[in-house]
Structure 1
Amino acid sequence: IRLGLRQIKSGTKASHSPTDQALHFRGAQCAIRAGSPTAKGNFNPSSAQQLRALKSGRQPLTPADYLNLTADCARYRARRRFMQVALSEEEAAFPLAFSMVIHDQLELFERLLRALYAPQNVYCVHVDAKAPADFLQAVRALAACFPNVFVASRLERVVYASWSRLQADLNCMEDLLRRPEPWRYLLNTCGTDFPLKTNAEIVRALQVLRGRNNMESEQPSAIKRQRWRYQHQVSETGTVVRTSVTKSPPPLGSAEMFTGNAYIVVTRDFVRHVLESPEAQRLLAWAQDTYSPDEHVWATLQRLPGVPGSLPPNNKYQLSDMNALARLVKWQYLEGDIMRGAPYPPCTGTHRHAICIYGLGDLPWMLQQQHLLANKFDLSVDEQAVQCLEEHLRHQALFGPGS
């Protein structure tokens, strides 16, 4: 930590090798000011073009690079500047668990892990069974350098919008409950996420919940109800398709279905309940042939009476994605002028499946939000967005807010 402090203060670098280019919190063009036009939601498109031009053009690190880097774990941890001690007694007393579901973008995953890493926490990494062998080998080598990072014991062939995505998190949940770390809350992540808060800020946000879970959970639209009204199956082309077979009603008695997204912040007791409760297991079994079950299973469990950390089903307790803590996502069709009623300003990066892949110009506004993490990032779209978030978070962690 002292070394990191000296280097951040002085701006010096310990190495200039290609594999070190992503290690350092350089600070160039990374000023994030709360009063900037971007933060107010009035970002100039011409400025966005200038910011995109700041991309380094550096090629991401490869599996072979990581196998070389992790050959000496002590050197790797120091060289890649992972936090080696808890930064406060408060954080040490409130360990967290992370389920990390990934399939590509190895360097982005490692930088996500580094941004979230603290020695008192525990991290389960689920690698898609379809991922290349060298990718999995590199992830295993990376995980082996930390006593609290491991690859899930069962790996699924993950298909977008299918049951396999939720099963990947369930596999990590089972593994995490068997771990010795006394973690309090679980947060699930994917390989295109990045945190907006330091570990200390995450801990304080979770302490305020006082044992409640936090996730999007709202009454479903008529379109969303179609996702569980008919059976769905994975086609030969690897996509989820709807069949003409009508499903039986959900096994909830008089309780209702709710909808949300795949991202959750849940207590240890919630995880144990999901894996052990007959009621929860019936819902999980029923949902396996629905479309994108992770977007209604978690949201429904969150509103069932008796589920640890849940909220009542009454409409007063509905929570939208923008009011939940779990994840900040910008949908293309909702972007616009905040002063004219849009929920968020235009994306300064690009879009994929109508979701913003953030650019550097998105950061000032994003850092004013309460969300713990954001989705999506891509080093090939704008590495500076990730670089500047890394710098900001490390500075906040070491020096405190407002420094």
Structure 2
Amino acid sequence: MRRKSDWPTTAGCTSSVTASETEICPKYSWLDYTDADGNPENVCNCSAILQGERDALDQAILLSITKDFKKSVHIPNEYYVNASQDCRKFKSSRKYLTFPLSKEEQDFPLAYSMVVHHKVQDFERLLRAIYAPENVYCVHVDKKSEASVVSAISAITSCFPNVFMVSQAVSVVYASWSRVQADLNCMADLYEAKTKWKYFINLCGQDFPLKTNLEIVRALQSLKGSNSLESEKMPQEKQWRMSNAHQIVNGQITATGTKKGPPPFNLPILSGSAYIVVNRGFVRSVLEDNRIPALIEWAKDTYSPDEFLWATIQRLPGIPGSKRPSPKYDMTDINAIARLVKWHAYEGEAYPECQGHHVRSICVYGAGDLQWLLQQPHLFANKFDTDTDHIAVYCLEKYLRHKALAEMI
């Protein structure tokens, strides 16, 4: 435990973080991501990209499709296995923050579930971006992931006392119950951890933060114990997901042709998202409330249960931080701070058009999306992919690290 006298100070340093050019204390400048690092991405002007300047964005787009550049920024899985043999050197070279940046953050620890199945480089950059020694992180690697992925992520987590692999991994099938089970297993492990964290946030490997840890802490403090997640009336076009039984066939979820009965206790089933920001009491209820097991058993053969289970639990009476099932308490994904996702169908209406590309009707962000993303209230955004737009991740992580160091109080 760091003594009060050990907390980092910023005497004589500016505390303004309104621009990417904000200065940081020289004592901690080695933790900043700068052009002096010699990374190939430095040919890009991130400040100009974040301001939406066309020339800088065009250069980023050109680089993103250049084979030599893509090869130069790719980090193979073997690197992480080898580099983490010396954990101290690994954390130093990758510039992990190994001390709390403020007492406010130290007094408000967070818990993260990270569900991953590939793209180790994306996972490691996400972990680095959200890592703080006061937080705790459970990593679920898909049971069917390639051995090189499991080895690399295991090696990375072994370097941190507050980052661990889930005690029971499952084989995750898209839109099936297994996606929920992965988070449930991490919830259970995190709840038993020594750290008495305040809020739980679940992530996947292609998420990335839009806020610094301090900003996330303050956003959660402002909730005053409430949860923030999408929870609204189930659209008619999604009713089939719960009225028809499903099973896994040849690695895919398939309808059985059998009709399902009503949910237990006549619970109103709400529509939502897999992504949630919930307090410790919510997680305790998921693990211990006697109403939840019946709901879980009923949901196991539905389609995409992660898109209604959390939303439904959020509206149950007595759940810490919950809201009443009345429509006046409905919350959309735009208003919930858990995750910002650009759906192709709503581009041009709810938000600007995607500047990257689409996967399953979801925008995989490009550098041109960053200016808009950073203006939003959400804590995280999905999806990012360093294989297709490395600059978007690089400029975002560079901006957040500089801001975090400038915020030190």
Superposed pair shares fold, TM > 0.5: yes
Aligned equivalent of 1:314, options 326, 336, 360: 326
Matched, 1:54 2:54: no
Contact kept? 2:44, 2:60, Cα under 8 Å: no
Deviation of residue 48 (structure 1)?
5.8
Bigger CA drift: 374-383 or 50-59?
Answer: 50-59
For 1:23-42, what aligned pairs fall within 5 Å after superposition?
26=42, 28-31=44-47
For 1:203-218, what aligned pairs fall within 5 Å after superposition?
203-218=217-232
- Seen in structure 2, the aligned counterparts of structure 1 residues 389 and 251 have a Cα distance that, compared at 3 Å, is same
What SS does the corresponding residue of 2:134 show, helix, strand or coil?
coil
Amino acid at match of 1:363: L
Partner of 2:29: 5
Q: Following the alignment from structure 2 to structure 1, what is the Cα–Cα distance between the partners of residues 28 and 63?
A: 25
Partner of 1:163: 177
Partner of 1:41: none
Partner of 2:192: 178
Deviation of residue 172 (structure 1)?
0.3
Partner of 1:111: 125
Partner of 1:286: 298
Partner of 2:383: 376
What SS does the corresponding residue of 1:291 show, helix, strand or coil?
coil
- Seen in structure 2, the aligned counterparts of structure 1 residues 316 and 7 have a Cα distance that, compared at 3 Å, is closer
Deviation of residue 240 (structure 1)?
1.1
Partner of 1:144: 158
Contact kept? 1:48, 1:348, Cα under 8 Å: no
- Seen in structure 2, the aligned counterparts of structure 1 residues 9 and 375 have a Cα distance that, compared at 3 Å, is closer
- Seen in structure 2, the aligned counterparts of structure 1 residues 120 and 50 have a Cα distance that, compared at 3 Å, is same
Matched, 1:245 2:245: no
Q: Following the alignment from structure 2 to structure 1, what is the Cα–Cα distance between the partners of residues 43 and 321?
A: 40
Q: Following the alignment from structure 1 to structure 2, what is the Cα–Cα distance between the partners of residues 139 and 191?
A: 11
Give CA-to-partner distance per residue, 1:3-37, whole Å, 9 cap, x none: 65157497422xx5xxxx48x9x483212688x56
Q: Following the alignment from structure 2 to structure 1, what is the Cα–Cα distance between the partners of residues 34 and 346?
A: 42
Partner of 2:404: 397
Amino acid at match of 1:259: S
Q: Following the alignment from structure 1 to structure 2, what is the Cα–Cα distance between the partners of residues 308 and 326?
A: 17
Partner of 1:323: 335
Q: Following the alignment from structure 1 to structure 2, what is the Cα–Cα distance between the partners of residues 261 and 225?
A: 15
Deviation of residue 223 (structure 1)?
1.4
Q: Following the alignment from structure 2 to structure 1, what is the Cα–Cα distance between the partners of residues 191 and 197?
A: 9
- Measured on the aligned residues, the alpha-carbon RMSD in Å equals 2.1
Amino acid at match of 1:384: I
Partner of 1:223: 237
Give CA-to-partner distance per residue, 1:210-249, whole Å, 9 cap, x none: 111110011011111111001011112x211122111110
For 1:254-403, what aligned pairs fall within 5 Å after superposition?
255-336=267-348, 342-400=349-407
Matched, 1:77 2:91: yes
Detail structure 1 runs of 4+ shifted over 6 Å in the superposition. Answer: none
Contact kept? 2:226, 2:322, Cα under 8 Å: yes
Contact kept? 1:108, 1:379, Cα under 8 Å: yes
Give CA-to-partner distance per residue, 1:152-184, whole Å, 9 cap, x none: 010100000000000000000111011101101
Contact kept? 2:31, 2:95, Cα under 8 Å: no
Deviation of residue 257 (structure 1)?
0.8
Q: Following the alignment from structure 1 to structure 2, what is the Cα–Cα distance between the partners of residues 80 and 267?
A: 31
Give me the TM-score of the superposition, normalised by structure 2.
0.88
- Seen in structure 2, the aligned counterparts of structure 1 residues 6 and 140 have a Cα distance that, compared at 3 Å, is closer
Contact kept? 2:44, 2:59, Cα under 8 Å: no
- Seen in structure 2, the aligned counterparts of structure 1 residues 264 and 27 have a Cα distance that, compared at 3 Å, is farther
Deviation of residue 51 (structure 1)?
3.1
- Seen in structure 2, the aligned counterparts of structure 1 residues 9 and 115 have a Cα distance that, compared at 3 Å, is closer
Aligned equivalent of 2:167, options 134, 137, 153: 153
What SS does the corresponding residue of 1:201 show, helix, strand or coil?
helix
Contact kept? 2:138, 2:164, Cα under 8 Å: yes
Residue-pair matches, total: 379
Contact kept? 1:27, 1:388, Cα under 8 Å: no
Q: Following the alignment from structure 1 to structure 2, what is the Cα–Cα distance between the partners of residues 355 and 6?
A: 36
What SS does the corresponding residue of 2:271 show, helix, strand or coil?
coil
- Seen in structure 2, the aligned counterparts of structure 1 residues 37 and 71 have a Cα distance that, compared at 3 Å, is closer
Q: Following the alignment from structure 1 to structure 2, what is the Cα–Cα distance between the partners of residues 205 and 32?
A: 27
Amino acid at match of 1:31: S
Matched, 1:63 2:87: no
Q: Following the alignment from structure 2 to structure 1, what is the Cα–Cα distance between the partners of residues 148 and 33?
A: 37
Amino acid at match of 2:219: A
What SS does the corresponding residue of 1:242 show, helix, strand or coil?
strand
Q: Following the alignment from structure 2 to structure 1, what is the Cα–Cα distance between the partners of residues 52 and 135?
A: 37
Give CA-to-partner distance per residue, 1:61-103, whole Å, 9 cap, x none: 2221111110100000000000011001000000000000000
What SS does the corresponding residue of 2:238 show, helix, strand or coil?
helix
Identical aligned residues as a percent: 48
